[in-house]
């Protein structure tokens, strides 16, 4: 039985135009629009907050906790915290980045991640965040799980060795594709992604053009015969670190 996170709203609400107030991110005041989360407001102003489960086209879920900031003195996930006038947000601190490294380390040791042999290397948000946050190598023991690889679909395979349980595919399938093909099964360390049929992804209505096929931050949902269309060395994070596109908004000269 799959457990699908509860729906909050069908599609992500667009922020209302115009500044509703200001928050302060690492000492700098920035405007926010009504309806924006702390993470959205910081993105718009060019301040990158690390994240893995947040995606600009999907409702936030607050699953990964990578975006945790100190907000008005208390730790809170920036992706699910609405911006409120006068908020004080700490993001780039040694303490928060150390916590983020710990979360990343747990993700690495709870799955099977061998970047050198992975089709997503250079295009993977987990790998890119590890580089950005200076996680050189995990110090915790690897758990070496043995999850099932599902290659039953003609155009897509599912490699649960890489899954970080971010729920992006669940939200995309449910809210954007209207299919609800994915869910979570079991709990705690046994939690895993489920496609609702023991025959595998090939027995579902999953299509290569579905939103759910394109939102995975790692190499768990992979389009077959497409992995090396962009060669190594030319991929998203091969030349610039993750978050550089957001930070470029801050550095861009005002028109």
For 159, 164, 201, the CA distances from 198, given in Å and listed in that order, are: 15, 21, 9
66 binds ligand FES (CB under 6 A): yes
* Residues facing 162 on adjacent strands: none
Partner whose footprint covers residue 216, from ligand SF4, ligand FES, none (CB < 5 to 8 Å by kind): ligand SF4
Q: Which of residues 43-62 bind ligand FES (CB under 6 A)?
A: 51-54, 62
Cα 97 to Cα 130: distance, rounded to the nearest angstrom: 11
Burial zone of 102 (CB within 10 Å; 0-12 exposed, 13-18 middle, 19+ buried): middle
What is the size of the binding site for ligand FES (CB under 6 A)?
Answer: 12
Stretch that binds ligand SF4, among 72-80, 92-100, 144-152, 165-173 (CB under 6 A): 165-173
What is the size of the binding site for ligand SF4 (CB under 6 A)?
Answer: 25
120 binds ligand SF4 (CB under 6 A): yes
Cα 150 to Cα 115: distance, rounded to the nearest angstrom: 20
Cα 240 to Cα 242: distance, rounded to the nearest angstrom: 7
- Closest distance to ligand SF4 from the beta carbon of 220 (Å): 4
CA proximity to 2, closest of 182, 157, 199, 200: 182
Stretch that binds ligand SF4, among 17-25, 65-73, 142-150, 210-218 (CB under 6 A): 210-218
Contacting residues toward ligand FES, per CB under 6 A = 51-54, 62-67, 77, 79
Contacting residues toward ligand SF4, per CB under 6 A = 113-115, 118, 120-121, 124, 126-127, 162-169, 193, 215-221
């Amino acid at each position: 039985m799959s457990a699908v996170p509860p729906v909050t709203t069908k599609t992500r609400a667009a922020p209302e135009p115009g500044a509703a107030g200001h928050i302060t991110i690492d000492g700098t005041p920035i405007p926010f629009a009504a309806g924006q989360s702390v993470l959205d407001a910081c993105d718009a102003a060019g301040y990158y907050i690390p994240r893995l489960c947040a995606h600009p086209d999907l409702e936030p879920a607050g699953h990964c906790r990578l975006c945790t900031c100190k907000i008005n003195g208390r730790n809170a996930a920036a992706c699910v915290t609405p911006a409120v006038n006068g908020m004080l947000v700490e993001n780039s601190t040694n303490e928060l980045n150390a916590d983020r490294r710990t979360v990343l380390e747990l993700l690495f040791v709870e799955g099977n991640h061998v970047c050198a042999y992975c089709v997503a290397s250079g295009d993977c948000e987990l790998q890119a965040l590890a580089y950005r946050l200076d996680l050189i190598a995990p110090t915790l023991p690897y758990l070496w799980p043995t999850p099932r690889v599902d290659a039953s679909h003609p155009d897509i395979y599912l490699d649960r060795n890489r899954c970080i349980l971010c729920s992006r595919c669940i939200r995309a399938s449910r809210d954007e594709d209207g299919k609800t093909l994915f869910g979570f099964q079991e709990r705690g360390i046994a939690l895993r992604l489920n496609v609702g049929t023991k025959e595998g992804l090939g027995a579902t209505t999953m299509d290569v053009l579905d939103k759910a096929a394109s939102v995975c931050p790692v190499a768990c949902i992979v389009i077959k015969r497409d992995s090396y269309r962009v060669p190594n060395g030319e991929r998203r994070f091969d030349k610039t670190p993750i978050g550089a596109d957001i930070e470029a908004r801050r550095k861009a000269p005002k028109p």
